[in-house]
Amino acid sequence: MQTLPSPRTMYSALARRDSSYEGIFYAGVKTTGIFCRPTCGAKKPKPVNVEFFASPNDALFAGYRPCERCRPLQASIEPPPLVKRLRDTIEKHPTGKLTDADLRRDGIEPSTARRQFKKYYGMTFHAYHRARRMGKALREVRAGESIIGAQLNQGYESASGFWQAFRNIFGERPGKANGVGVLAARWIGTPLGAMLAVANDEGLCLLDFVDRRGLERAIGTLRNRTKSVITPGDNTHLDTITSELGEYFAGKLTRFTVPVRHGGSPFDKSVWSNLRKIPHGTTWSYAQLAVKSGNPKTFRAVAQANSRNYLAIVIPCHRVIRSDGSLSGYGGGVWRKRWLIDHEASVSRTIKSSGQDPTA
């Protein structure tokens, strides 16, 4: 996991266009919605209007688009014409979906497009497009309505698309959604990247990393199941999970107390309940979890139930590994799974060495 320099150090490097920081950080300018390299020649914003990211992907999911001047996504060579054409198409229609059929209608072979775009940018154009769509919507969650409203009043160039992206992913605004419930959403920064938390008055309904591939689908499932819209807001459970995540990553918390509310079949709920019984700092195999769930032959179904867990870390599906000790897939990325397992093991060792019970 990359650790960024201090904000003061990075702003100083940005102000003097220090090339030694190339690849170390990227700067997002809040007033323009653009992110840049440290060496960008554009006029420097005030420190209060800058935030820093470890990777272009982090900046995209924070709602920023790449600067056309310093081109933070590009290598040293100009992109092939097909790559530039795809990127321009995405920027013209950032809130819509660009399917293979759409590409073929434009005379573009999808497999060629994927190959060239990924070779140049290190990600497929679908991944780039998804990041732009989610980033625009998630930026609403980060900023809150009052700030976005001000941007709208000031003619922020992507505001209309921004609101449309929010509606596409999170549902209509409460004022236009009669007879439905409301879920409150909050963007929470963590050492492993930003997370999206969604809660109602009864408890936490969703917690996941914003760059998880299945996040849009999870949001849609939650909306349909609860017949609710999702809007930036505050409630007690969002305050609790924000505080508890901070303590967890600081090594001060081994058991979450935030109330949770989730759907799922009786089997899913049984698996998720058993996940919470895995002691902090230890792991179980899928076979062990299947036994605890009442049927030793259901380890594949157990793995599928894990994938349907929308409460990352709180319901610790990251503590389940293969019988041979190797790591399998994790929605937030295997690298995060390894980090979480190592972090918890280290915290547990520290607690045990002090004579305390890490499960208390």
From the CA atom positions of the chain, what is the Rg in Å?
Answer: 22
Identify the band that residue 174 occupies on the pLDDT scale cut at 50, 70 and 90. Answer: very low
Identify the band that residue 141 occupies on the pLDDT scale cut at 50, 70 and 90. Answer: low
CB 194, CB 61: distance < 8 Å? yes
20 vs 162, residue with greater confidence? 20
The neighbouring-strand residues paired with 186 are 197
Per-residue model confidence (pLDDT) at position 341: 93
Identify the band that residue 158 occupies on the pLDDT scale cut at 50, 70 and 90. Answer: very low
Residues 5 and 87: their CA atoms lie apart, in Å, by 31
Residue 177 has pLDDT above 80, yes or no: no
CATH number for region 195-360: 1.10.10.10
110 vs 154, residue with greater confidence? 110
Q: Which residues are known catalytic residues?
A: 317
* CATH topology match: 1-72 vs 74-170: no
Per-residue model confidence (pLDDT) at position 179: 54
According to DSSP, the β-strands at 195-199 and 204-209 are antiparallel
Per-residue model confidence (pLDDT) at position 357: 67
Identify the band that residue 168 occupies on the pLDDT scale cut at 50, 70 and 90. Answer: low
What is the arithmetic mean of pLDDT over 134-143? 62
Residues 162 and 125: their CA atoms lie apart, in Å, by 19
State the DSSP string of 166-228: HHHHH-S-GGG-TT-EEEEEEEE--TT--EEEEE-SS-EEEEEETT-TTHHHHHHHHHHHHTE
CA 157: distance to chain centroid?
A: 24
Q: Exposure of 18 by Cβ count < 10 A (0-12 exposed, 13-18 middle, 19+ buried)?
A: middle
Local structure of 272: helix, strand or coil: helix
Q: Where are the domains of the chain?
A: 1-72, 74-170, 195-360
Q: Exposure of 183 by Cβ count < 10 A (0-12 exposed, 13-18 middle, 19+ buried)?
A: buried
CA 281: distance to chain centroid?
A: 24
96 vs 163, residue with greater confidence? 96
Single-letter amino acid code for the residue at 78: E
The arrangement of secondary structure in 74-170, i.e. its CATH architecture, is Orthogonal Bundle (1.10)
pLDDT digit string (tens) for 83-132? 778 877 777 766 566 778 888 887 888 888 777 777 666 667 777 777 66
CATH homologous superfamily for the domain 1-72:
DNA Methylphosphotriester Repair Domain (3.40.10.10)
What does the mean pLDDT of the chain come to? Answer: 80
CA 15: distance to chain centroid?
A: 29
Choice among 12-26, 85-99, 291-305, 322-336 with the minimum mean pLDDT: 85-99
